[in-house]
Structures are given as structure tokens and as C-alpha cells.
Amino acid sequence: MILYHAGKKSIEFPEIRKTRYTKDFSWGFYCTNNLEQAVRWANRGIGEPVVNFYSYNYDLSANLSILKFAGMTDEWLDFIARCRKGGTHKYDIVEGPMADDTVWNYVNDFLAERITRKQFWALAEFKYPTHQISFHTLSALDCLTFERSEIIYDLKEEK
């Protein structure tokens, strides 16, 4: 399987870095299996949009601790709420939906207790999340093999 990582530079050797804020699945190296999504993310902000391509070796991940969310569920919402508040977890790899900007606003409202869980699901019902897979340990990163990086402009944005 090919995975993509969006950014502003070529990343031959992925790293896990702690930053000021956490992401949906805590600190990790994030990829997607959706090239269009990667291109869209690479084109955000200033600088040349770089998409890195990696081969993902499932066989190497066989002995790792993997959490996979098939869709937006209560478990998924609770997990990203904990992670976004700074919580960590024991998983090597986490895979599941990535909330788009609109859904992320609903998640923030849920975290801030401005809306209830029931209200979150009512708002998010017709939103379609995209894909993310995050690597949280060196063993997990060993499952990725850098293939290449490309500068790819989002032609949809220019229209």
C-alpha cells in the first residue's frame, strides 16, 4: 500500500516529534492513503507543496499494537478528545477517520462542552471524514519505506 505525507519538504526519514499541540491520535508521523487529501494539505500555507510517497509494509506491522477505527464512532470521538487534550496511548499505529475542518470545529465544541455528544453526532451526521494513519514508535516507522517526494500543486484551488 502507498501512503502519503503532506508538507513543505521531502522527508526521507520520518520522525515523531512532540509539538505544542497534539493531533487526533496524539504525537506521531501522520500519513493518508488518499492522494487528493495529501495534495490539499500540502497546498495549505506558505511554501512549495511537497507530497512524500511511502510504501507501507503490513508484514512488518504484524507484531505491533494497532488500533483501527472503521468510522466515526463514540470510541473514535472519545479517543481523539483524550489525545487532543494531551493524552497519550500505548499503540504503535492508529488508523481511522480524520475530521475535516467543519467536523473538527464540532469536536472542539464538544471538548469545550459547548455541545453535547448527541449534538455532535447530529451535526456530524452528513459529514464524510477522510483517512489518516499515524505512526507512534520507531518500530512503527520501520514499516514505511520512502519512495519519493513530489511538488504537487492543487489545480482545483487555482480555478
* pLDDT tens, position by position, 82-106: 998 889 999 999 999 987 777 888 8
Counted domains in the chain:
1
Please, which residues bridge with residue 50 across strands? 7, 151
Q: Spell 61-98 as b/e; 16+ CB within 10 A means b.
A: beebeebebeebeeebbebbbbbbeeeeeebbbbbbbb
Does the pLDDT of residue 17 top 90, yes or no?
no
- Residue 1 cell numbers, joined: 500500500
The pLDDT-based confidence of 78 (bands split at 50, 70, 90) is very high
Residue 135: domain span: 2-153
Structural contact between residues 11 and 42, judged by C-beta atoms closer than 8 angstroms: no
**Residue 158 forms part of a structural domain:** no
Residue 159 lies in a domain: no
